[in-house]
């Protein structure tokens, strides 16, 4: 049974995964974005420096948000996963580039990802009016 208030936007530019989840779920004006990592458009992990993985992950988040009718400026909350605690200073520096004031609510967890990933981000955003 489908719910007319819930949608699952996905366009050709939206990163996909072979894992069982939707890139985003829209409920009313809220957009819930699944974790975005340093992957290509087929969901294959692209290993890189922390900065490279961070930028690719946030750009993937941006693509998912655009397909759902939003953008990074409309993010209200993020959950961030940083594999190595020594990358937190760089993470904070890069985060400020993508999320200027006023910043969204944020949670950061370290020492939590598998060796194949350095960073992952999930978000809640609102649709652009």
d(CA 106, CA 7) in angstroms, rounded, equals 25
| pLDDT the model gives residue 1 | 56
pTM for this prediction: 0.91
pLDDT at 13: 73
Per-residue pLDDT tens digits for 72-121: 999 999 999 999 999 999 999 999 999 989 999 999 999 999 999 999 99
* Residue 49 contacts residue 91 (beta carbons within 8 Å): no
Burial class (CB in 10 A: 0-12, 13-18, 19+), 115: exposed
Total domains present in the chain: 1
Identify whether 119 is part of a domain: yes
CATH of the domain at 111: 3.30.1330.40
What are the distances in angstroms from CA 91 to CA 53, 74, 94? 11, 20, 5
Average pLDDT over residues 25-54: 93
């Amino acid at each position: 049974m489908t719910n007319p208030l819930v949608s699952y936007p996905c366009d050709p530019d939206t990163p996909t995964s072979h894992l069982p989840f939707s890139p985003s779920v829209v409920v009313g004006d809220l957009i819930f974005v699944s974790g975005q990592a340093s992957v290509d458009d087929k969901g294959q992990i692209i290993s890189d420096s922390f900065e490279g993985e961070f930028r690719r992950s946030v750009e993937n988040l941006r693509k998912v948000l655009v397909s759902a009718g939003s953008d990074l400026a409309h993010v209200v909350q993020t959950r961030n996963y940083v594999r190595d605690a020594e990358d937190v200073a760089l993470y904070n520096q890069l985060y400020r580039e993508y999320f200027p004031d006023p910043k969204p609510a944020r949670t950061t967890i370290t020492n939590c990802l598998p060796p194949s990933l350095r960073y992952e981000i999930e978000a809640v955003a609102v649709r652009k009016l």
